[in-house]
A and B are shown apart, each in its own frame.
Chain A
Amino acid sequence: MTITEKILAAHAGRDNVSAGELINAKVDLILANDITAPISINEFKKIGAKDVFDRDRIAFIPDHFAPQKDIKAAEQCKMLRDFSKEYDLDLYFEVGRMGVEHALLPEQGIVVPGDLVIGADSHTCTYGALGAFSTGVGSTDVASAMATGECWFRVPESMKFIYYGTLNKWVSGKDLILHTIGDIGVDGALYRAMEFEGEVISYLPMSGRLTICNMAIEAGGKNGIIVPDRITEDYVKGRAKREYKFYTADKDAEYVDIKEYDCSQIPLTVSCPHLPSNTKPAAELSSVSIDQVVVGSCTNGRIEDLRAAAEIIRGKKVSPNTRMIVIPATQQIYLEAVREGLAELFVEADAVFSTPTCGPCLGGHMGILAKGEKAIATTNRNFTGRMGHPESEVYLSNPAVAAASAVLGRIGTPEEVL
């Protein structure tokens, strides 16, 4: 069996499962945010369950339109707060303690290797970086699981992605996953598990692994996953709040497809409007002027991402024609950035340094685009209208390329500004 099949089998109380089967499995953690939880709460009440299945296993995180951007958003956030009080939920994260959900939960050791996690958010697939099976579902799935502790799954076929060689300077996990999506397309892994391995993955830090698994959904994948190793162990020890288990793939595990990449051939990569699969080398896009730069999100809002952007922008200024918005993904990252002097560095460079929020990534608040404006962002989607006006455009990149573009006022590479 693959690692995905093994985790699903273990949670379904079975010795084995095979691709294509529909199973019911126990979940270790359920999460929802201020956009998706309100529907889950309403649907949960319709079920008429006496209680939630486990008050310690349901995480409600107001992060999308929080801090509350308007009255309606405030009402939605209040629903999460009130429900969490009513059912005495252990994992409710108020503004001031919250962060972007998929950065927060691994950081706090709330998701651990071997877990089966569902979340009413498509980027729930992020935790595969820890060797967990995690996948995005709908609000009604979450409502049902809050009552039963179970969820239905179709066991996915697995695809393997192997990365050989060495990474070029400034090329990161983000470039690997953008390049991969560019190769296979936005439905290239539809309904499938994406298992990432190879020598490059074996030394890629956890931050890069989280970025890769985070964007599995952008290729249509059900989950992204990396077999746990020493890097996983180093990351989870000291932070895991529960016992964890390392699953591995069997030698005879079946894969429907195997893709191999020579990383020396992978350039700094940018996804052009309006699909993540529309990739081009950053160096070929120097004619694209940029109105706004966003560094943040569940994809690239971790401290390593902020450090990469800071390294480029240190001692320089954001172009007078461009706005730069830096959003650390969690309170802890925010604090680290302050203590390391990164916050000061960004502000000195004329960038905005924001409290944690998903904010502009999905066109919520904190940097919405006007008609005709172009942004480069370290986020995960560049669909039409994603960050604002339907006639605005979003380019996706890693933090170093985004920071270089902020200095240049157009898409560019770190080499051009250093």
Chain B
Amino acid sequence: MILKGRVWKFGDNIDTDAIIPARYLNTSDPEELARHLMEDADRDFPTKVRAGDMIIADSNFGCGSSREHAPIAIKAAGIQAVVAKSFARIFYRNSFNIGLPIFESDDASEKISEGDEIEVDADRGIIKNVTKGEEYSAKPIPPFMQELISAGGLIEWTKKRIKVS
């Protein structure tokens, strides 16, 4: 699977309150959450972002609350993938569970600029910077997480497991 899109850049420690402020958590409707994506970090972001865009961030992306509303809002806004140096652990598992592609790459995080066009080869973990003509590799995804991805997320994986037992 190749994902192509333009990049929005964010810094260190982007917390889940920044991704989706708690004042909007009286709903779990993905479309409504997407309308407020990142608005406390960048007020205009919900209007600027387009389906197919990518987020590139620094370390510890998604720290703070366990709210699954954060990856749900990102996915519902049409963001295809998030690349960061590292992810907070609950955000990391939530993303795999709900099928939001995420990749860890120091190189990509440092060298990609806002507005760059990138291509992510999700299966090989290769991130190509079309704008700059560079290529970066992402950390390999553990086999169990790949199993989750190919099942289509944790709910589909659980369905299969229940059937087998």
Of the listed residues B27, B89, B153, B157, the one surrounded by the most CB atoms of chain A closer than 10 A to its CB is B89
Q: What is the CA–CA distance of A48 and B161 in the complex, to the nearest angstrom?
A: 12
**Any A CB within 8 A of the CB of B159:** yes
**Any B CB within 8 A of the CB of A220:** yes
Residues of B within 8 A of A120 (CB): 66, 68
As a 0/1 sequence over residues 12 to 24 of chain B, the CB contacts with chain A under 8 angstroms (1 = contact) are: 0101011001110
Given the known interface contacts A36-B66, A385-B17, the answer about A140 and B28 at a Cβ–Cβ threshold of 8 Å is no
Given the known interface contacts A35-B67, A42-B28, A122-B66, the answer about A140 and B23 at a Cβ–Cβ threshold of 8 Å is no
Q: B161–A275 contact, CB under 8 A? A: no
Residues of B within 8 A of A42 (CB): 28
As a 0/1 sequence over residues 101 to 134 of chain B, the CB contacts with chain A under 8 angstroms (1 = contact) are: 0000000000000000000000000000000000
Closest Cβ of chain B: how far from A390's Cβ, in Å? Answer: 4
Residues of B within 8 A of A136 (CB): 66, 90
Q: Which of A69, A144, A187, A364 contacts B60 (CB 8 A)?
A: A187
Q: What is the CA–CA distance of A121 and B66 in the complex, to the nearest angstrom?
A: 5
Given the known interface contacts A141-B97, A186-B13, the answer about A39 and B154 at a Cβ–Cβ threshold of 8 Å is no
Q: B17–A140 contact, CB under 8 A? A: no
Q: A138–B41 contact, CB under 8 A? A: no
**Any A CB within 8 A of the CB of B3:** no
Q: A187–B66 contact, CB under 8 A? A: no
Interface size class of B (residues with CB under 8 A): 35 or more
Residues of A within 8 A of B88 (CB): 187, 190, 220
Q: B142–A139 contact, CB under 8 A? A: no
Residues of A within 8 A of B142 (CB): 22, 154
Q: Which of B13, B23, B158 contacts A147 (CB 8 A)?
A: B158
Q: A22–B22 contact, CB under 8 A? A: no
Q: What is the CA–CA distance of A385 and B67 in the complex, to the nearest angstrom?
A: 16
Q: Which of B72, B90, B158 contacts A144 (CB 8 A)?
A: B158
Q: What is the CA–CA distance of A190 and B61 in the complex, to the nearest angstrom?
A: 11
Q: A138–B93 contact, CB under 8 A? A: yes
Residues of B within 8 A of A22 (CB): 142, 144
**Any A CB within 8 A of the CB of B155:** yes
Q: Which residues of B from 1 to 52 have beta carbons under 8 Å from A?
A: 13, 15, 17-18, 21-23, 25-28, 40-41
Residues of A within 8 A of B40 (CB): 384-385, 390
Q: A65–B26 contact, CB under 8 A? A: yes
Q: A364–B159 contact, CB under 8 A? A: no
Q: What is the CA–CA distance of A70 and B27 in the complex, to the nearest angstrom?
A: 11
Q: B26–A69 contact, CB under 8 A? A: yes
Residues of B within 8 A of A122 (CB): 64-66, 90
Q: Which of A43, A46, A119, A383 contacts B64 (CB 8 A)?
A: A383
Q: What is the CA–CA distance of A148 and B15 in the complex, to the nearest angstrom?
A: 30
Q: A64–B66 contact, CB under 8 A? A: no
Given the known interface contacts A120-B66, A140-B68, A190-B60, the answer about A362 and B22 at a Cβ–Cβ threshold of 8 Å is yes
As a 0/1 sequence over residues 134 to 165 of chain B, the CB contacts with chain A under 8 angstroms (1 = contact) are: 00000000101000000001110111011000
Q: Which residues of A from 110 to 135 have beta carbons under 8 Å from B?
A: 119-122, 124
Given the known interface contacts A39-B68, A383-B18, A384-B40, the answer about A140 and B154 at a Cβ–Cβ threshold of 8 Å is yes
Given the known interface contacts A381-B17, A384-B41, the answer about A48 and B159 at a Cβ–Cβ threshold of 8 Å is yes
**Any B CB within 8 A of the CB of A6:** no
**Any A CB within 8 A of the CB of B80:** no
**Any B CB within 8 A of the CB of A73:** yes
Q: Which of B26, B154, B155 contacts A73 (CB 8 A)?
A: B26
Q: Which of B26, B63, B68 contacts A220 (CB 8 A)?
A: B63
Q: B94–A138 contact, CB under 8 A? A: yes
Q: B161–A148 contact, CB under 8 A? A: yes
Closest Cβ of chain B: how far from A37's Cβ, in Å? Answer: 10
Q: B63–A362 contact, CB under 8 A? A: no
As a 0/1 sequence over residues 371 to 391 of chain A, the CB contacts with chain B under 8 angstroms (1 = contact) are: 000000000010111100010
Q: B94–A140 contact, CB under 8 A? A: yes
Q: What is the CA–CA distance of A354 and B95 in the complex, to the nearest angstrom?
A: 36
Q: A148–B162 contact, CB under 8 A? A: yes
Q: A383–B66 contact, CB under 8 A? A: no
As a 0/1 sequence over residues 352 to 382 of chain A, the CB contacts with chain B under 8 angstroms (1 = contact) are: 0000000000111000000000000000010
Residue of B nearest to A119 (CB): B66
Q: What is the CA–CA distance of A390 and B42 in the complex, to the nearest angstrom?
A: 10
Residues of B within 8 A of A144 (CB): 97, 154-155, 157-158
Q: A38–B28 contact, CB under 8 A? A: yes
Q: Which of A38, A43, A186, A191 contacts B155 (CB 8 A)?
A: A43
Residues of A within 8 A of B65 (CB): 121-122, 362, 381
Of the listed residues B98, B158, B159, B162, the one surrounded by the most CB atoms of chain A closer than 10 A to its CB is B158
**Any B CB within 8 A of the CB of A230:** no
Q: Which of A46, A76, A119, A190 contacts B26 (CB 8 A)?
A: A76
**Any B CB within 8 A of the CB of A137:** yes
CB-based closest 8 A-B pairs = A72-B26, A138-B94, A187-B60, A362-B22, A122-B66, A140-B97, A138-B68, A136-B66
Report 11 cross-chain contacts, Cβ distance below 8 Å, ordered by A residue.
A76-B27, A121-B66, A136-B66, A141-B97, A141-B154, A187-B63, A217-B64, A362-B65, A363-B21, A383-B64, A384-B17
